[in-house]
Structure 1
């Protein structure tokens, strides 16, 4: 029996039925690549690969932009070769060896998942429901170019807003499993998809999307552990825009094994009782919806019981 992985310990809880499906080549590449680039244990190998690219340039100065492009394209193939190199293979951990193989061709799919104090649902799962649990937000350190004149790569913390389309679980041959959220992401890299008004409210435009998943270099996935929840309110003035509302995590209580749902506790809204009695002078002191016959029957029964008690 394999040992529990220290790279990806179990996080979160499935709260829906699951189904098994076969990953397409593009799905498997995009999902596995995201896992690699967001695993701290892999970071030293990414830096080693960058050094390999510089040496391979044979003295030609290679820009940081070119290096980033090569990493995104070629690292996924170089990494397993490096890990399984006979010269160093015996020093590599089992976790890294399983990780280098990539996930199995088959994955699991869910429609709801609890993590970070939130219960997320896919857009399709909440179709027809009044509640909205598909809004996803995260802040990520992203490589970007400062300007057209300055092509050097900069690291910047960018806010990403999306809607949850799919929840999948990758299986790395039984060694560990990784749950990913696939989202449709608003283009927050420019003003056409994200803006703030003078009052500090953030609005997003879902007709302006990035990383839609139809190209290999797209990045539609995030780890479930990275997700925070938001919900979107329609802007009645600007029809294509939605106002972002950030939510605080709720308290989740595990009700024991065998239950597919987790009880969510949230504070009741404070009620202002004065609003009900602000016009107390106009409140009727009797109910006009009662049946007079029922009232009379109750009165007669009460008097009858009183007479019987006195006779005794």
Structure 2
């Protein structure tokens, strides 16, 4: 699993005893929402599997960071049917008060908001912090009070200390430096962070640079007018294969065209050529910075080479397809994380990946790609495709991780991840993001497409004889309601109970945390308690 996503569940598994021990509550959520559907879909029959998948999807949707009112109404309507289906599978002893609780959870989310602001995980973690303040076990409350006051004082004083690293000023474990940067004018460019270390300089060949430049120019929205202009020019000249010729000649044509416009100060039909467009046309430095890890788009990425001996997995990526590709997602693993430097002090992040198989448009299967009826994607991870097009922009990458099939190790299931500390807001204060961006004088509003790991569960079909409220297997009997009125109520004698004032102070109960054993005479008095 990705770094920091869950505990090391592998160490909690005891194969000899066939059980899992030492799990945290969050680990149970991860197993139930992510791993259990993948494991059960090939083991259980469909009438048993569907209610379990429905329950897993219920908690997955309920615990998401973004909740919609219409979705919560739908969850409230479907969860009773799911529990009724579970009652047909599990024994009655399984259904205690906790199995009844999910009926009220969706309505509570409508009233109280997202679950992550109300559940007990932050409280439990903070209780662990308070327990760490205890130094004198004879007086734990006093130790916690002194530790809390000391922490507050140090936090207050650290806000007035400049030039010294403190607990407040230190960065997070995986911090995305690009998140707080102002817009640079070109969406794919960002300002170079010279404080970032841990890279190796690599001299790129001319062919590699041309391939990278072509990918950057054809995937940048600011250069789209010139790409269309070059294609139209090739078609007017009756080129035999305009797409192939465009791939070979567009980089050089774009550099000559932008240099001419920038030198003479001419204005293109789509606007004046800026200095950043001119820097993009001249190309990057051939000496690239290569990292083995980076934080981007709210994800922590690593290349696959350094994960050979690690138990975590952060190299899986997915790129969403467009209408031309049939909206098929492309999955792969990162081989290199490349930072290309452009003047003045700008950079573009590229990922060099090994891609797995993807089906043609309007199809859900191929030799190395399977998409079952539950929406779970299986990939043949030993077969690589699209070797002539290995690059993607870092801004296009979203993270996935692969769960290897036990019976067939060449195949793995895909589980999509959501970005950390980022939210997809479809409505902002009653105004759509497009309207908010137009009303904002400062510029654009960033819209992030958050990946939701949705599991498609077929609708539960209940037989007609089960949904009927009338029994036809036994003849009913009639009861006269007037008989109930003739029953005399049972009168009970008043039992005098001692008040607190009648109890002697010397024998008063002291709550010292210990339970006193009952004497034999106290046990014998209990015989008169029952009627």
Per the alignment, residue 185 of structure 2 pairs with 6
Task: Judge conservation of contact 1:192–1:208 (CA < 8 Å) in 2.
Answer: no
Per the alignment, residue 250 of structure 2 pairs with 75
Runs of 5+ unmatched residues, structure 1: 143-153, 213-217, 253-312
Distance (whole Å) between structure 2 residues aligned to residue 82 and residue 141 of structure 1: 29
Task: Judge conservation of contact 2:289–2:338 (CA < 8 Å) in 1.
Answer: yes
Per the alignment, residue 395 of structure 2 pairs with 225
- 1:125-173, Cα deviation, whole Å (9 max, x unpaired): 222111111110110337xxxxxxxxxxx55433110001110100123
- Structure 1 residue 181: deviation in Å? 0.9
Per the alignment, residue 39 of structure 1 pairs with 220
Q: Secondary structure at the match of 1:125?
A: helix
Task: Judge conservation of contact 1:15–1:113 (CA < 8 Å) in 2.
Answer: no
Per the alignment, residue 52 of structure 1 pairs with 233
Q: Secondary structure at the match of 1:199?
A: coil
Per the alignment, residue 122 of structure 1 pairs with 303
Per the alignment, residue 247 of structure 1 pairs with 417
Per the alignment, residue 27 of structure 1 pairs with 208
**Number of aligned residues:** 228
Is the aligned partner of 1:170 residue 2:340?
yes
Q: Secondary structure at the match of 2:265?
A: helix
Q: Of residues 157, 177, 180 in structure 1, which corresponds to 2:350?
A: 180
Distance (whole Å) between structure 1 residues aligned to residue 262 and residue 283 of structure 2: 21
Runs of 5+ unmatched residues, structure 2: 1-182, 267-272, 361-365, 423-531
Task: Judge conservation of contact 1:12–1:225 (CA < 8 Å) in 2.
Answer: no
1:82-93 → structure 2 map (5 Å cutoff): 82-85=257-260, 89-91=264-266, 92-93=273-274
Q: Secondary structure at the match of 2:355?
A: strand
Q: Which of the pair has the greater relative contact order for Cα pairs under 8 Å at 6+ separation? A: 1
Q: Of residues 104, 112, 119 in structure 1, which corresponds to 2:293?
A: 112
Per the alignment, residue 30 of structure 2 pairs with none
Q: Secondary structure at the match of 1:204?
A: strand
Once superposed, which parts of structure 1, at least 4 consecutive aligned residues long, lie more than 4 Å away?
A: 11-16, 86-89
Per the alignment, residue 99 of structure 1 pairs with 280
Compared CA separation, residues 243 and 15, structure 1 to 2 (3 A): farther
Compared CA separation, residues 127 and 118, structure 1 to 2 (3 A): same
- Structure 1 residue 104: deviation in Å? 1.1
- Structure 1 residue 21: deviation in Å? 1.1
- 1:39-98, Cα deviation, whole Å (9 max, x unpaired): 1111000111111112212xxxx67xx322222121111111111226974132211111
Distance (whole Å) between structure 1 residues aligned to residue 192 and residue 287 of structure 2: 21
Per the alignment, residue 294 of structure 1 pairs with none
Compared CA separation, residues 89 and 206, structure 1 to 2 (3 A): farther
Task: Judge conservation of contact 1:16–1:111 (CA < 8 Å) in 2.
Answer: no
- Identify, as 1 or 2, the structure richer in strand: 1
Distance (whole Å) between structure 2 residues aligned to residue 200 and residue 188 of structure 1: 15
Compared CA separation, residues 230 and 12, structure 1 to 2 (3 A): farther
CA RMSD of aligned residues (A): 2.6
1:266-281 → structure 2 map (5 Å cutoff): none
- Structure 1 residue 11: deviation in Å? 8.0
Structure (1 or 2) with the larger CA radius of gyration:
2
- 1:18-45, Cα deviation, whole Å (9 max, x unpaired): 1111012222122111111111111000
Per the alignment, residue 198 of structure 1 pairs with 373
Compared CA separation, residues 87 and 196, structure 1 to 2 (3 A): closer
Task: Judge conservation of contact 1:182–1:221 (CA < 8 Å) in 2.
Answer: yes
Task: Judge conservation of contact 2:400–2:415 (CA < 8 Å) in 1.
Answer: yes
Distance (whole Å) between structure 1 residues aligned to residue 262 and residue 190 of structure 2: 32
- Structure 1 residue 124: deviation in Å? 1.6
